[in-house]
Amino acid sequence: MKFWKAFFAALLGCLVALILNFFLFFLLIAGIAAASGSGGGNAPSVKENTILKIDLSQTIGERTQEGMGGDMSGIPFISMPQASLGIYDAVKALEKAADDKNIAMLLITDKGTGTSSVTALEELRNAIEKFHASGKPIIAYGMNYSTGGYFVASAADKVYMHQDGMLQLVGMGGSMMFFKDALDKLGVNFQLIRHGKFKAAAEQYIKNDISPENRQQNMEMMNSIWKTLSSRICQSRGIDAKDLDNAIDSLKIGDGESAMAYSLVDSALTTERYVQKICGLLGVEKEEDLKVITLSSYAKTLPASLKGSVKVAVLYAEGEIAQSGSGIASSKIVNQIKKITKDDSIDAVVLRVNSPGGDAQAAELIREELQALAKAKPLVCSFGEYAASGGYWISAQAQKIFSDESTLTGSIGVFSLAINYGKGLKEHLKINPVELGTHRHSAMGSGVRPLDDEEVAYNQKLVEHIYDKFMGIVSDGRKMSIAQVDSIAQGRVWTGTQGVEVGIVDKIGGIEDAIKYAACIALGKDPDNNYRDVDNSEFKVVEYPKVKTQMELLLEGFGSSEQDALIQKFFGKANLKELAEDFQNSKGVKTYARMPYTLQLTY
């Protein structure tokens, strides 16, 4: 009897494994078919009198990334990255559309569900403003405008919304969670060793509430970003900034009637009436006669390579800095930098940084290699959503630094973090850890006990050493004294606008500005006076590293999307594997050059 039970159990296991293998096999086949069906092909044709549509519910990211063909959201165990249009491709597409005789108008739509960063929306809006010079009409229409979506839409000639839609302008906010009480109950303790009164990294693990310094920097940071958004909105719509702020504080803006009362929209229309307006502008009788192409589709008409006399390489550094793994892994990006340095066909380099920082040692390895590159070719930096702490470490010595106004940068500070869970093991699991070692501090950072006073002093000295190194790098790159650097450092996070004021950023501008500046240097022109006038035909752009294929994305996509979303929200990691690796690597006392946290702003 036991034999047959074992036999049937084994048989059932084999059947389950066989079914799963068949499922995975056909899933891969479907993925290959989808990839081949959507990734290749010729560029779309653009017919006369076409509308170029910017759908703000679609993500504008750092780089263009194709999604898998078809809807895979209902397939279990698959978590696919969202398809996105790279901001540089978006800007170049709008530039081309302005001169394209077949593009008759620009239409901006918003359903309030986009996931683009504030900096991406800022650069997109700048490109839309340049589009005005073409004289072609720009119309915006939304059902439910998000604040970020409305910020872009307000650049249009006319802004409409659905008569039953919403425009909920409530300013800019965010939230932080503090875990000390929960950790105390679990018997888990964090010891934070830092330099910089604003270095609030891990504060949520050692305190029950936000520190005054951290509150100060966050409020100043959010107010700076809001000023960027609101000033541009008010300028476009002819609104007084104080009146807008008062209306927001009083929650007076919400529906179409209130939006019109405060001159935020020109009219609240039914869909039918809105379509009639568009048809009238283009001289057609019915909706079926309208020809529309999305910005992401139109971007596919951009030439793969221009025949300019100089070549600019754009190196994307996106994610958390570490020595290995995903994000900005020094083990990978250093090889990319060496490859670019040795390539004699590359005349200048733009480092596009979108990183809150991370491992200080990994950042230093990357910086050293970038310095070697800078001796061979001009190196210009462009900041995305974040270029803070370790992200700033690798950027500080560039020849010129461009930043968006809403970029979060600075955070020049260092901290070490030691976690111990011995109390939790003993109280909750009745496990009593015992230390062994050849010397008094051999088990330092083992995780089973707190650091003693000597060990804290030892690690504080190491933190101070790395902080001094960081200040020296900034001092050299920004041509400041150490005292000047220290006065703006202390772990303080600044926006790009504030960064220009304190001297850690050179110019406000997007990735296109940085590329043109680098090209101007390579062309032997005066970049500070002439970079905006460089013609696109004078240079060509190559990007590093290569974008992942759809098949690579499919193979990486196995996992729980809901679980990954929660891990990203609370821990700043892409998935459970990354989170586990982070805890594994946290053994010992780890030193970081990282932003305090990745603040999730609502906008």
DSSP H or E stretch at residue 38: helix 2-39
Say what the pLDDT of residue 403 is: 98
310-415+450-584 has the same fold as 50-169+253-301:
yes
Is the Cβ–Cβ distance between 425 and 248 less than 8 Å? no
Alpha-carbon distance of 98 to 539, in angstroms, equals 20
What are phi and psi for residue 209, nearest 5 degrees? -150, 165
What are phi and psi for residue 373, nearest 5 degrees? -65, -45
Is the Cβ–Cβ distance between 198 and 217 less than 8 Å? yes
Query: Beta strand 414-420 with 189-195: parallel, antiparallel or unpaired?
Result: antiparallel
Q: What residue segments make up the domains of the chain, in order of their start?
A: 50-169+253-301, 310-415+450-584
Say what the pLDDT of residue 417 is: 80
Alpha-carbon distance of 99 to 264, in angstroms, equals 29
**299's tokens:** 């971007």
Length of the chain as a residue count: 603
Alpha-carbon distance of 148 to 591, in angstroms, equals 35
Contacts (Cβ under 8 Å, ≥6 apart) of 231: 241
Is the Cβ–Cβ distance between 350 and 313 less than 8 Å? yes
**288's tokens:** 């079926």
The CATH code of domain 310-415+450-584 reads 3.90.226.10
Is the Cβ–Cβ distance between 544 and 315 less than 8 Å? yes
Relative orientation angle of helices 360-376 and 330-342, to the nearest 10 degrees: 0
Alpha-carbon distance of 333 to 320, in angstroms, equals 12
From residue 120, give the alpha-carbon distance in Å to each of 84, 222, 505, 514. Answer: 12, 17, 18, 15
Q: By C-alpha distance, which of 141, 307, 183, 171 is closest to 248? A: 171
Is the Cβ–Cβ distance between 557 and 79 less than 8 Å? yes
Is the Cβ–Cβ distance between 90 and 56 less than 8 Å? no
10-residue stretch averages of pLDDT, the chain, 603 residues long: 49 54 51 46 83 93 74 49 85 96 95 80 97 96 91 96 91 85 86 70 82 86 94 96 95 94 95 93 91 95 82 96 91 96 97 94 96 97 95 97 96 85 84 86 85 89 91 96 93 93 97 97 92 91 82 54 48 50 53 62 62
What are phi and psi for residue 487, nearest 5 degrees? -70, -25
Q: By C-alpha distance, which of 144, 140, 151, 152 is closest to 168? A: 144
Contacts (Cβ under 8 Å, ≥6 apart) of 242: none
State the pTM of this model: 0.84
Relative orientation angle of helices 511-522 and 87-99, to the nearest 10 degrees: 80
Angle CA 416–422–424, to nearest 5: 110
What class does CATH assign to 50-169+253-301? alpha beta
Alpha-carbon distance of 586 to 401, in angstroms, equals 33
Angle CA 484–486–487, to nearest 5: 65
**What is the per-residue DSSP string for 95-121?**
HHHHH-TTEEEEEEEE-S-----HHHH
Q: Tell the residue number behind the tokens 């409409």, with chain if given.
A: 160
